[in-house]
Amino acid sequence: MNDKINEKIIQGHKNGMPMLLIGLVLYLLAIVGTIFGAIWMDDYDGNPLKMCIFIVSIVYMSIGWIVFLGLKVLKPGEALVLTLFGKYIGTLKGDGFFYVNPFCTSFNPAADTKLGQSGDISDGKKSVMAGGVQIAGANGEIKASAVSKKISLKVMTLSNSRQKVNDILGNPVEIAVAVMWKVTDTAKAVFAVDNFKEYLSLQCDSAVRNVVKLYPYDITENIDTTGDGKADDGSLRGSTEVVAGRIKDEIQSKVADAGIEIVDARITYLAYAPEIAAAMLQRQQASAVVDARKLIVDGAVGMVEMALERLSEKEIVDLDEERKAAMVSNLLVVLCGNHDAQPIVNSGSLY
């Protein structure tokens, strides 16, 4: 961006109402002058003043509407970038009724671009979506009433469509991210890039791909996700806050020169791609079964150990090594089995 183009806030122009009244009064006087001028012309006595009033009135009625072009109305959270014959002269900010040079034009190259977010899609038109950007209506046009050159300074949410990205292990993953953003520098937004809305949407897609490929979907051994050369337990499913933070920082580094601030980023959808979802579900189930079995075995071994120690301490029965082995085997079968044990009671002998 040209360093000479910095945002300039236009101050002291909230005089739209007085200028509106003046313009209306002048129009009324021009109408009266035209009427009386026409009467005077029917009986013209050579008075140059009457001729002058008649001519001035007609001229003003023809071009007086230009005065009203300088009237600008802004609501809270809106801004208007103004140029005069191609030169940037400043930005109107804040709510109010303004009056500026009537030859100034509003400039916003992203006015016709509608992001897929609340309040930014025109009603009554089907749209063609590319990523999170609405390019045009079904007939290639956008309703004129929906096109505004004003730039919103409010925090907006961009929800791009789901992307299929390969994680660090090469598994295809579907992910969607919601990005909260706002325009902080209107001059950079309209002059630094061709279309700041499309630019933001493309940078969001790129950042998601760059960050997701650094993580496995689930916790995996010997994977370094932080770049410090050490394996860690980072994953897309288990470290959503960290992943979202890295996506936010990645986007911010790309759009800072476009006068955009990324307020927050959140992962709204995360899942394996349909073609491998069933296989990965079986893998997760198998892993869960193994972990559960490991916990059951650890608990069973502890209980067997405690039983043998208590029997020895209380001197309830003296077991040799063979009987101890048999008892350990029976207890482990009972404690680790999937079903309730059906014991056989031996009441005829010591063992």
Looking at residue 138, what is its pLDDT? 37
Looking at residue 232, what is its pLDDT? 82
Looking at residue 131, what is its pLDDT? 46
Q: Are the C-beta atoms of residues 143 and 233 closer than 8 Å to each other?
A: no
CA 252 to chain centre: 12
Looking at residue 252, what is its pLDDT? 95
- Tell me which residue of 329, 344, 332 sits closest to 297, measured CA to CA: 332
What burial letters (b/e) apply to 142-167, b meaning 16+ CB within 10 Å?
beeebeeebbebeebbbbbeebebeb
| Structure token pair of residue 330 | 């029976």
What pTM did the predictor assign?
A: 0.69
DSSP line for 194-243: S-HHHHHHHHHHHHHHHHHTTS-SS--TT--SSSSSS-----TTT-HHHH
Looking at residue 140, what is its pLDDT? 40
CA–CA distance, 162 with 339 (Å, rounded to integer)? 44
pLDDT along the chain (351 residues), means of 10: 72 85 90 81 70 85 88 91 92 90 91 68 43 42 58 90 88 92 93 92 92 88 80 86 93 93 93 77 72 80 81 73 76 71 61 51
* Alpha-carbon distances of 181 from 93, 96, 115, 200, 262, rounded to whole Å: 18, 24, 12, 9, 4
> What residue type is assigned to position 175 of the chain?
I
Q: Which residues pair with 174 in a beta bridge?
A: 164, 271
Looking at residue 45, what is its pLDDT? 64
CA–CA distance, 327 with 301 (Å, rounded to integer)? 12
CA–CA distance, 234 with 286 (Å, rounded to integer)? 21
Which residues make Cβ contacts (< 8 Å) with residue 269, sequence separation at least 6? 162, 174, 175, 176
Domain ranges, ordered by start, for the chain:
16-106, 153-272, 285-336
Looking at residue 120, what is its pLDDT? 59
Looking at residue 316, what is its pLDDT? 73
Looking at residue 346, what is its pLDDT? 60
Looking at residue 208, what is its pLDDT? 93
Type and span of the H or E element at 290: helix 274-314
Domain 153-272 is of which CATH architecture?
Answer: 2-Layer Sandwich (3.30)
Looking at residue 44, what is its pLDDT? 63
Question: Quick check: helix, strand or coil at residue 271?
Answer: strand
Q: Which pairing describes strands 105-106 and 133-137: parallel, antiparallel, or unpaired? A: unpaired
